[in-house]
Homo-oligomer: A and B are copies of this chain.
Amino acid sequence: MAEKKVSIIDVAKKAGVSTATVSRVVNRLGGYSKETEKKVLKTVKESGFRPNVNAIGLRTNRSHCVGVIVPDITNEFFAKIVRILDIYFIKYNYSVLICDSNEDPELEKRHIQDMFDKNVDGLIYVSGMERIHSALKGSPVPIVFIDRAPKNAEVVVQSDNFQGGYLAGKKLCEAGCRKPLLLRDYRIASTIQQRRSGFMKALEAYEILCEGDYEIGISPDYVSAKGKISELLSRQGCYFDGIFTTNDMMALGAMHALAEAGYRVPEEVKLVGFDNVSLSEFCNPPMTTINQNTEQLAVLAGEALLKLIRNEEIEKKEYVVPVSLKIRNTT
């Protein structure tokens, strides 16, 4: 079971060459004869040689490993990004270290530390904390940000949040809303800010005046949204005829609060979410939402990071990925 590991020395001996030559061949560095190459490759295969990553890392200070930090792996949106990134990087022989910061700054810090300790060659940081963690500031390796980003980020890839907000607002207006409500994350991150601006822009275009409590900030989850809408309904009645939420879970919470209070969606109140997670498709009624292109988000980030790692030119500092309106039955 536990057969002795074969080292580069074993291979060298068996092939009758030096370890340097084996190293050259294995790493395809060139500078050896066809014959030598064949001989070494054959021996490598026969002996089942696997290079010792620790030794390589120790020598080169490179790990062929990239880190990915997400705020919540149980959130489908993030899970999808992780999966695509994993598949993307494996093609280039990079492995991916996944970290769930669990929205906990302490845990996040440990994870970041841990990744640096492991000598990751680069980092992809997906959204999460309100402010970028200070542990990231003096990063020894390139970082690509997905979604949210700090001021002086090297590279950011994000959805066209403004357009998302705009499409949501437009749809609501066209569906006849005159008193739409914006239910958003209470933390005004840049992404949320942009969704808000787009939304406002649409309302303006339709000459809809927003007054009173038309904008509400809450914790961006199902329970908070449901609670808040219930509270509004019982205290102020249904003073709105449409709701745009900055993610799908909030929309779902709002929907259920509405249903419990006896308001019909979409007849009395229309609803648009954000993300297009599968819940938005399977809930009742299926929800109109803004679709984020996770695939493109992830791949662009992967490409950019790879270039950064290889010290290649990056065309842009900022990539924005189109979003689309997914019309279902809440508008």
Does A100 lie within 8 Å of B82, measured CB to CB? yes
A6 at interface, CB cutoff 8 A: no
Least CB separation from A95: chain B residue: B114
Given contacts A100-B86, A279-B282, contact A55 B58 (CB under 8 A): yes
User: Which of A51, A58, A83, A285 has its CB near the most chain B CB atoms (within 10 A)?
Assistant: A58
Interface residues of A in 71-103 (CB under 8 A from B): 72-74, 76, 79-80, 82-83, 86-87, 90, 95, 97-100, 102
A18 at interface, CB cutoff 8 A: no
A205 at interface, CB cutoff 8 A: no
Does A82 lie within 8 Å of B90, measured CB to CB? no
A52 at interface, CB cutoff 8 A: yes
A232 at interface, CB cutoff 8 A: no
Complex interface: chain B residues within 8 A of A116 (CB): 50
Q: How far is the CB of A260 from chain B (nearest CB, A)?
A: 13
Question: In the complex this chain forms, how many copies of it are found?
Answer: 2
Does A282 lie within 8 Å of B76, measured CB to CB? no
Interface string of A45-61 (1 = CB under 8 A from B): 00000111111011000
Identify A90's interface contact among B2, B98, B107, CB under 8 A. Answer: B107
Does B74 lie within 8 Å of A79, measured CB to CB? yes
A262 at interface, CB cutoff 8 A: no
Given the complex of chains A and B, what is the CA–CA distance between A225 and B272 in angstroms? 29
Complex interface: chain B residues within 8 A of A55 (CB): 54, 58
A1 at interface, CB cutoff 8 A: yes
Does A138 lie within 8 Å of B82, measured CB to CB? no
A283 at interface, CB cutoff 8 A: yes
Does A80 lie within 8 Å of B90, measured CB to CB? no
Identify A53's interface contact among B82, B102, B118, CB under 8 A. Answer: B118
A284 at interface, CB cutoff 8 A: yes
Identify A58's interface contact among B52, B83, B97, B99, CB under 8 A. Answer: B52
Given contacts A87-B102, A97-B97, contact A53 B117 (CB under 8 A): yes
6 contacts between A and B (CB under 8 A): A1-B138, A2-B140, A50-B117, A74-B76, A252-B282, A283-B284
**Interface positions of A (Cβ within 8 A of B):** 1-3, 50-55, 57-58, 72-74, 76, 79-80, 82-83, 86-87, 90, 95, 97-100, 102, 107, 110, 113-114, 116-119, 138, 140, 252, 278-279, 282-285
